[in-house]
Amino acid sequence: MPELPEVEVSRLGISPHIEGRKIKAVHVHDKRLRWPVPETVHQVEGHVLRSVSRRSKYLLLQTDNGCLILHLGMSGKLRVVPAETGHYKHDHIDIEFDNGQTLRLNDPRRFGALLYSETDVAGHNLLKQLGPEPLTEAFHVDYLFERSRGRSQSVKTFIMDNKIVVGVGNIYANEALFKAGINPKRAAGKISKARYQKLVPLIKETLTSAIEQGGTTLKDFTQVDGNPGYFAQKLQVYGRGGKLCMVCSTRLKEVRLGQRSTVYCTQCQR
Ligand SMILES: [Zn+2]
């Protein structure tokens, strides 16, 4: 599933090819995505794409006549290809530009989305409840510490809550807690400020390093046979349950927290 780093890398991969170009047409080959693609997406036709930005895992394609909201769901991939390029199975959406290029969404599982917001996209129902972006200054130690007080839920579930902070997916929560030496099952409200001081920069560092690793795949966004937006990452705990800790060689433990696989070291994480 594309997580925040994959979505950010997708943004970096597609935006140089389409920003500033006029949208010629939006072709919807199959509107049965997570929500039916509304007719209003055609409102952007004939308008220049001013910017491609990201909020949480939503890509925002802003024009002078409203904004397209694009989500990759579980399996979505974006490519920028010449408009005449033949379609593959699961190519559901084409956003065609005046330079002969088209932004193409391929999504086998169809949990992705394309929606339209006429005004104030930040106030859109999908976006207005979201917590701060993890890589901005709005996400800082005092903020996270204050929000954690009185909470008995596990710290891992807490940092994965989009209302607290967006984009800390399961992989990144596992990895950041390992690096911070915090047991993922510990109650969020019982963790000291000093430990949050360690955790917050490690969340930022884990996400930033993933985005940097994905940066090596940017050329894939314009290649029909590439694998855009998905990249191998160097992980210390995620997916390594039962294997040995890379720091102390203790066997890593795997449990489920909030229905999500959680891997940690009982020696390194307290
Ligand atoms: Zn260890």
Residue corresponding to tokens 């169809």: 110
- Residue 227 is predicted with a pLDDT of 85
Number of domains in the chain: 2
Residues surrounding ion ligand 1 at CB below 5 Å: 245, 247-248, 250, 265, 267-268
For residue 105, being part of any structural domain is answered with yes
Considering the domain architecture, whether residues 114 and 178 belong to the same structural domain is answered as no
Pairwise CA distance, residues 84 & 130, whole Å: 38
Q: How far is the CA of 236 from the centre of ligand 1 (A)?
A: 10
Question: Strands across the sheet with 91-97, in order?
Answer: 23-28, 91-97, 101-106, 77-82
For residue 135, being part of any structural domain is answered with no
- Residue 226 is predicted with a pLDDT of 79
- Residue 256, annotated as binding a ligand: no
- Residue 134 is predicted with a pLDDT of 98
Which of these three, 123, 156, 190, is where a domain ends?
A: 123
- Residue 42, annotated as binding a ligand: no
Tens-digit pLDDT string for the chain (270 aa): 899 999 999 999 999 999 999 999 999 999 999 999 999 999 999 999 999 999 999 999 999 999 999 999 999 999 999 999 999 999 999 999 999 999 999 999 999 999 999 988 999 999 999 999 999 999 999 999 999 999 999 999 999 999 999 999 999 999 999 999 999 999 999 999 999 999 999 999 999 999 999 988 899 999 887 788 888 888 999 999 999 999 999 999 999 999 999 999 999 999
Q: Which domain holds residue 50?
A: 4-123
Which CATH number covers residue 57? Answer: 3.20.190.10
For residue 133, being part of any structural domain is answered with no
- Residue 126 is predicted with a pLDDT of 95
pTM (2 decimals)? 0.95
Considering the domain architecture, whether residues 150 and 235 belong to the same structural domain is answered as yes
Which of these three, 67, 90, 123, is where a domain ends?
A: 123
- Residue 267 is predicted with a pLDDT of 98
Considering the domain architecture, whether residues 39 and 111 belong to the same structural domain is answered as yes
Considering the domain architecture, whether residues 31 and 145 belong to the same structural domain is answered as no
Q: How far is the CA of 152 from the centre of ligand 1 (A)?
A: 25
Considering the domain architecture, whether residues 117 and 160 belong to the same structural domain is answered as no
Considering the domain architecture, whether residues 64 and 175 belong to the same structural domain is answered as no
Considering the domain architecture, whether residues 85 and 43 belong to the same structural domain is answered as yes
Residue corresponding to tokens 């394309």: 114
- Residue 21, annotated as binding a ligand: no
Mark 28-53 as b/e (b = at least 16 C-beta within 10 Å). Answer: beeeebbeebeeebebbeeebbeebe
Which CATH number covers residue 192? Answer: 1.10.8.50
